[in-house]
Amino acid sequence: MNSSNNNYSVIHTGKLENINQSRFSLESLGTIQGKHFLKDELNLSGMEVSLNILPTKTSMPFFHKHNENEELYIFVKGSGQFQVDNEIFDVSEGSVVRVAPVAERTWRNNSAEDLTYFVIQAKENSLTGSTVEDGVITTRTVNWEQTVEHA
Amino acid sequence: MNSSNNNYSVIHTGKLENINQSRFSLESLGTIQGKHFLKDELNLSGMEVSLNILPTKTSMPFFHKHNENEELYIFVKGSGQFQVDNEIFDVSEGSVVRVAPVAERTWRNNSAEDLTYFVIQAKENSLTGSTVEDGVITTRTVNWEQTVEHA
């Protein structure tokens, strides 16, 4: 069950193959199948995230860049090719790509299975300080036996 | 092959099961197996990302919170439980969780297989404007036949 309060939100999208059923509509692009944006659903304030499937033997039909946001692509299934400006490279399970806002990017699935990947946007140069030191261990004791499961 | 310039970076970590071999060391925590931080390797400036595997029947041994950064957890394989403050819920493939900096969080793998997930940090409230409108389609033509593959 999806649930949330000010401190957290959780959405259960199900098996990753379900991404195929997602649809995203934008006036300038029409309807895109296989793309599920989650920022608004999760109430994120520092990043956007989308779950994506590009079907076999298809390409993004355009290049795009960004005004402010850095992008991170995490590939989890399938294989394809990615182009940034004049550079092209293969991607597959476990490939992780950073793209600066100003760069022109596109990608394709030239394989025989779905290309499954996540895209995260965050504002370029917005991190301050060390991300490792940003985490603080608290004194609360972990005790799974005392917890009551969320209804 | 890993490659990069100012406009992009790509790292090929291989099959997600390889995350098991990753090790992360921090003076205050000792060495953690199955955690691969990528911000420095990718030269990210707006977010941190880690690839993670928590082995079967194990729990994070502590709760932690953050000073500045919102966290996003994306679960891609296996199942477990997640606790935020006094709330507990199940997570599995396709579960996506937002956690506010101030919230205390821990999680466990109470299943019979590895729990595989990604964690992204970004500064709370750092996004400005619409993430969809931040993207701009450019006039460059997509033509995979004209491209030369990266050596």
Lowest mean pLDDT among A90-94, B18-22, B73-77, B81-85: B18-22
Query: Whole-angstrom Cα distance, residue B142 to residue A106?
Result: 8
pTM reported for the whole predicted model: 0.95
Q: A94's torsion region: left (phi>0), alpha (psi -120 to 50) or beta?
A: left
Confidence of residue B131 (pLDDT cuts 50, 70, 90): confident
pLDDT over 90 for what percent of chain A? Answer: 84
**pLDDT score at B151:** 47
Sign of CA dihedral A144, A146, A149, A150: negative
Confidence of residue A83 (pLDDT cuts 50, 70, 90): very high
Q: Which of residues 56-85 of B touch A (CB under 8 A)?
A: 59-70, 72, 74, 76, 81-85
CB A38 within 8 A of CB A44: yes
Per residue in A12-66, pLDDT tens? 999 999 999 998 888 777 888 999 999 999 999 999 999 999 999 999 999 999 9
Q: Does B97 touch chain A (CB under 8 A)?
A: yes
Set of chain A residues whose Cβ sits within 8 Å of the Cβ of B47: 46-47, 70, 72, 120, 122, 127
Determine which helix (DSSP H) or strand (DSSP E) holds A115, and give its type and residue range. strand A115-123
Confidence of residue B84 (pLDDT cuts 50, 70, 90): very high
